[in-house]
A and B are shown apart, each in its own frame.
Chain A
Amino acid sequence: MTSSHLLAGLGLKPAHYDAAVDCRREGLWFEVHPENYMVEGGPRLHWLRAVRAQHPVSLHGVSLSLAGQAPLDAAHLARLAALARQIEPALVSEHLAWSAWDSQYFPDLLPFPRTGAALGHIAARIAHTQDVLGRRIAIENPSHYLRIDGHEWDEIDFLGELARRTGCGLLLDVNNVHVSANNLDFDAGAYLDRFPADAILEIHLAGHGRDPLLGDALLIDSHDAPVAPPVWALYQRLIARTGPRPTLIERDGNVPAFSALLDEHRQAADMLMAARETEPVLP
């Protein structure tokens, strides 16, 4: 199954299972964290199958720890492969981050110095993951909060090289670019303009918050609010260049009624349609 027919999608929340199954909006698709469905049976898988029977589904992992030094969790990867066989997802994605160390799981997407050694290490893990899954995956740019010493590669070149070496695609999270650009003081628009368009399999949009102590100086990728106007503007700038790409609206906290998410979905879908009508300028 290809993802080219996907328009705008929504993160699937348990409170919206019924509404998601019933919704017939054109091009709508749903994304889930596979970790929430790595169970032996029961209602969660039942509902995911029911949604999948009506809509394309994307599996967006948060815990594979591709940038981790600890060995890849073979059992986790096997569970991911089993879920993918069952759900037949349109897309599978993970993050350029790590989350495991010394048998402990850190529920976050942690940073690391982008060195040449890290590049080889992560490329090998992506290649192994793609071998086990028997498919291409997309790698997402995470949000950044810290200045880290020792980077030998800038993030775009690093992601582009991973794509070149492994054939993986990229998931460009526009909100993460906005948050990171604010926190690390770079130009978000210039970042988007440089991002390798031909590798983008999916785009993420989400809301963010402000640090309670530092305010606007430190934005947090909180996924608990509607997509902010500057992020919409960046998104339009991006797809004017790349043309339409499957676009997901993420919402994990303060989850509103399904109808409110559909309003944001409409906004993204309209922008995608507008981008479809203009001839994209590549790359």
Chain B
Amino acid sequence: MSNPSLREFQRDFAGALNHHADAADSQPAFAVYRNTVTKAGIDALEANFPSVVRLVGRDWFRSAAALHVAAQPPADARLLMYGASFIDFLRDFEPARQLPYLPGVARLDRCWTESHIAADAPVLGPRQLAQMPPAQLASCRLRPHPAARWAWFDDAPIFTIWSRNRQPGEVEGEIAWQPEGALLTRAEWAVTWQAAGRADCAFLDACAQGLPLAEAAGHAAAADKQADLSSMLARLMQAGALADPTHDAPTSERPTP
């Protein structure tokens, strides 16, 4: 339906909200709309990146978030998913140069969100694995659970920094400056996390690519020659990081654009 006056009004109003000049802008009450729109975006980033907030302080965070909201406003009404590009924003954000671990911490906050909203699916346990015919085990393709997220950080102990800032209370003690990995999974309707090794991450990467178990194990061994593959598999199953392949994988969209 053609509706030019509505179109023109909304084009001009949207432009004014995005800080371009407009006639409606001349009324002081227009600021209510602009403030509400900006505040909602900043509030969403604050809610979605709580560990970053805690590291940099609320005032610093909201100032930085305001710049990001202006540059990359929400496209989707589901604001709990807003902020996928905030990690890159922090990486390029000059005032954050002093805190090189900030993008990694933001990435784990994002992993938490993705795990929180991912599809439900049965997890692979030792019993299901034992039921597979041994001859087929090497060629079976294990899939990461929809709610599993993992990341390896070569440069900094991101997992320790993140986990200390993800929950209330102070954790004492020096942080050893070393590479670290993280694994986030969901159990009993809550996101949980634990440290992950190079081999864990390489194995899950390979599974996510659809590689057969034998090949994925090869990737894990290549990533860490010390890795004990059977205990790794047991740990990943214990964490709920793998989906039960006897159930169909959900076909719906992945949450991250």
A residues lining the B interface (CB < 8 Å): 35-36, 38-44, 46-47, 62-63, 67-70, 76, 98-108, 110, 112-113, 115, 117-118, 120-121, 124, 145-148, 150, 183, 211, 213-214, 218, 220
Contacts and interface: CB of A to CB of B under 8 A. Distances in A.
B36 A108 contact: yes
A39 B118 CA distance: 7
Contacts of B175: none
A112 B9 contact: yes
A42 B10 contact: no
B120 to A, nearest CB: 4
Given A69-B6, A213-B28, A104 B75 contact: yes
Nearest to A43: B189
A113 B9 contact: yes
Nearest to A99: B77
Contacts of B49: none
Given A42-B189, A145-B29, A145-B32, A104 B118 contact: no
Interface stretch (B11-19, B92-100, B205-213, B227-235): B11-19
B120 A41 contact: yes
Give the interface size bracket for B toward A.
35 or more
Contacts of B197: none
Contacts, number: 136
Contacts of B119: 40-42
Contacts of B32: 145, 211, 218, 220
Contacts of A213: 28
A213 B253 CA distance: 45
A101 B36 contact: no
B117 A42 contact: yes
B56 to A, nearest CB: 23
Contact of A150 (B9, B14, B77, B80): B9
Interface of B: 1, 3, 5-7, 9-11, 13-14, 17-18, 24, 27-30, 32-33, 36-37, 40-41, 44, 73-80, 115-121, 146-147, 186, 189-190, 250, 252-253, 255
Given A62-B77, A107-B40, A145 B116 contact: no
B33 A108 contact: yes
A36 B44 CA distance: 12
A117 B5 contact: yes
A183 B3 CA distance: 28
Contact of A108 (B5, B40, B76, B252): B40
A83 to B, nearest CB: 12
A71 to B, nearest CB: 11
Contacts of B116: 39, 42-44
A107 B33 contact: no
A102 B13 CA distance: 12
A43 B9 contact: no
Listed from nearest, the 7 A-B pairs whose CB atoms lie closest are A63-B77, A107-B40, A41-B120, A39-B117, A101-B14, A40-B119, A145-B29
A259 B116 CA distance: 28
A68 B10 contact: yes
Given A42-B118, A145-B32, A146-B27, 18 more contacts: A40-B118, A40-B119, A40-B253, A41-B121, A42-B120, A42-B189, A43-B116, A43-B190, A44-B117, A69-B3, A102-B11, A102-B14, A107-B40, A107-B79, A108-B33, A110-B33, A121-B6, A146-B29
Nearest to A50: B189
A3 B183 CA distance: 45
A265 to B, nearest CB: 26
Given A113-B9, A121-B6, A107 B1 contact: no
Contacts of A150: 5, 9
Residue of A62, A102, A106 with most chain B CB atoms under a 10 A cut-off: A106
A183 B13 contact: no
Contacts of A148: 24
Contacts of B40: 107-108
A38 B117 CA distance: 9
A183 B75 CA distance: 30
A189 to B, nearest CB: 23
A103 B75 contact: yes
A69 B13 CA distance: 12
A117 B14 contact: no
Contacts of B75: 103-105
A115 B5 contact: yes
Contact of A118 (B6, B36, B44): B6
